[in-house]
Amino acid sequence: MSPQADSLADRLDGLTIRDRHRLGRRLARATHSPRGTADRELDAIAQAIASAEERRALRAGAVPTITYPEQLPVSARRAEILEAIRRHQVVVVAGETGSGKTTQIPKMCLELGRGVDGMIGHTQPRRIAARTVAERLAEELETPLGGAVGYCVRFADTVGDTTLVKVMTDGILLAEIRSDPLLTAYDTIVVDEAHERSLNIDFLLGYLTQLLPKRSDLKVVVTSATIDTARFAAHFNAPVVEVSGRTFPVEIRYRPVRPEDDEHEPGEESGGRVGRPSLRAERDRDPIQALCDAVAELVADGPGDVLVFLPGERDIRDAEDALRSSGPEGIEILPLYARLSAAEQHRVFRPHGGRRIVLATNVAETSLTVPGIRSVVDTGLVRISRYSHRTKVQRLPIEPASRASADQRAGRCGRVAPGTCIRLYAEDDYAARPEFTDPEILRTNLASVVLQMAAAGLGDIESFPFIEPPDRRSIADGRALLEELGAIETRAGRVRLTPIGRRLAQLPLDPRLARMVLAAEEHGCLREVTIITAALSVPDPRERPADKAQAADELHRRFAVPDSDFLGFVRLWDYLADLQSELSGNQFRKRCRSEY
């Protein structure tokens, strides 16, 4: 190596991890070039290193002043968490929802000097959580969103050159693996809400297990509710720091929708059911009426907002209609689910004066802490994706929530004062439920996982270090589907991607829908099939409120196409595209609402 090359090599340590890797490879190539070419290349590398040094200096100067809210339980364990992260490559932080781990752990990483050589990647299972967490972090650090703190979700990216903490969905980080297998953009990865055990989370944790030996400078923090943390600790051979969460007691009341005929509560005959309907009325009611009764009982109990857990959007609409027509007066009712616009989601988190009832899906179970909640109504139901080995179809049935899920829901109150949770099912029903929700990898079609692993060169799925290995039948079904689509072929016992498979892996769609898009290109109907696959990839955009079902059906009938529901989506798209070009944004949204 020449003296100039040696000098440049010494300066690499002062760069960000990504620049260090990029310019280090470039320097290695230059030293093996002919002398004249090498000299010119070394001069160019010297200029690139000077620019990289300036970039790192800007990042170092962007570190904000860090403070911690004293009232959060995680702040009391700060010294222990900092020491664990300093001494170990992987740390598991376990704490109940509301302990502050989601917002304070990235700040602790910043305090340790992380985030400058590479970003602190902070993953969330949902887009709504990624946006909300980033906004909260930026507010606490007194920095504009897009500065030291940014977020990246599908269709929105506020990350800049001086971003130190990047909050994103776990799917975004997984997508980056293809272009950056070593994840050199990051010096720290925080995997939040790991207890949810989504397919993305399990895949990400398995990938990090393989990556850590190659990246000794990378730190990983896995945060989880106090659910099965021993499994994470054993997988990574990592220490666990426990953080208490709930600061006030929560009273659990069981109010099943239809009590058993022999049920008799002490004091019932003498008026002991204050704030509740008669037992006979309870036996005749439906689930929506039971929900309204529970809300009325909690509102009569005292002040504070009420959070109601429901399985889906339609249930939220039905409950909202019922509460508006017969619920307590003078109380604001707000929905909260993943498909709401960002502006509508933000309404839930804004400061407010009066009382509120928030109707939410399980997005509010662990990912988000809704402020001001003193009471919870738990319907005990959840809509969960599940693969049927018999029919080979992925379904979305509504099922009883697990005990762990029910405990998480109850934990949403009791943050600011003693709380109350009403469960619309019996205590013996709760006791008979499974302890945990099955990890998604055990209840989903694995075709997409097999395809992406083959595209990324990660080897066979059977040997991948998942926290919990998937079912062999699911693996076989996934491979069979990909072979049917022409995406893979098996040679000498090894799965290989075909040219079609490589193209399928580039599309962020279910492999079956992606194959439709490729076939449409061949048959000259790409526009129509793209619209159809988009419609099949999301929940039905058409609404059908229970009290306006006939009016909604009549309006939707305009787009019906005989013998083809799919072409009905195309007709609907064309109508909306024309409408959008004619109206302002506000007028267009009003028309969409009025036409369901």
Domain residue ranges in the chain: 3-61, 73-243, 250-266+273-440, 445-537, 546-594
Give yes or no for residue 362 having a pLDDT over 50: yes
* C-alpha to C-alpha distance for 259 and 425, rounded to whole angstroms: 9
DSSP letter at 434?
A: -
- For residue 370, the surrounding DSSP H or E stretch is none
> Taking residues 378-385, what's their average pLDDT?
93
Give, in words, the CATH class of 73-243: alpha beta
> 152-161, 361-370, 512-521 — which is least confidently predicted?
361-370
| 55, 56, 61, 65 alpha-carbon torsion, rounded to 10° | 130
> 61-65, 266-270, 512-516 — which is least confidently predicted?
266-270
> Taking residues 5-11, what's their average pLDDT?
89
> Taking residues 256-274, what's their average pLDDT?
52
pLDDT confidence tier of residue 260, bands split at 50, 70 and 90: low
> Taking residues 94-106, what's their average pLDDT?
87
Give yes or no for residue 273 having a pLDDT over 70: no
The 10s digit of each residue's pLDDT in 103-134 is 999 999 999 999 999 999 999 998 888 999 99
> Taking residues 234-242, what's their average pLDDT?
93
Give yes or no for residue 588 having a pLDDT over 50: yes
Q: Which among 551, 591, 586, 590 has a CA at the least distance from the CA of 575?
A: 591
Q: Are 307 and 369 in contact (CB under 8 A)?
A: no
Q: Are 526 and 520 in contact (CB under 8 A)?
A: yes
| CATH architecture under which domain 445-537 falls | Orthogonal Bundle (1.10)
Give yes or no for residue 267 having a pLDDT over 80: no
Write down the mean pLDDT value for the chain. Answer: 88
Q: Residue 382: its pLDDT value, please?
A: 94
Helices and strands in the chain, H and E counts: 24, 20
Q: Are 304 and 417 in contact (CB under 8 A)?
A: yes
* C-alpha to C-alpha distance for 316 and 339, rounded to whole angstroms: 12
Q: Residue 271: its pLDDT value, please?
A: 39
**Residues contacting residue 273 through CB under 8 Å, at least 6 positions apart:** 265, 267, 279
Which residues is 538 bridged to in the sheet?
none
Give, in words, the CATH class of 250-266+273-440: alpha beta
Q: Residue 265: its pLDDT value, please?
A: 44
The reply to whether domains 73-243 and 250-266+273-440 share a CATH topology is: yes
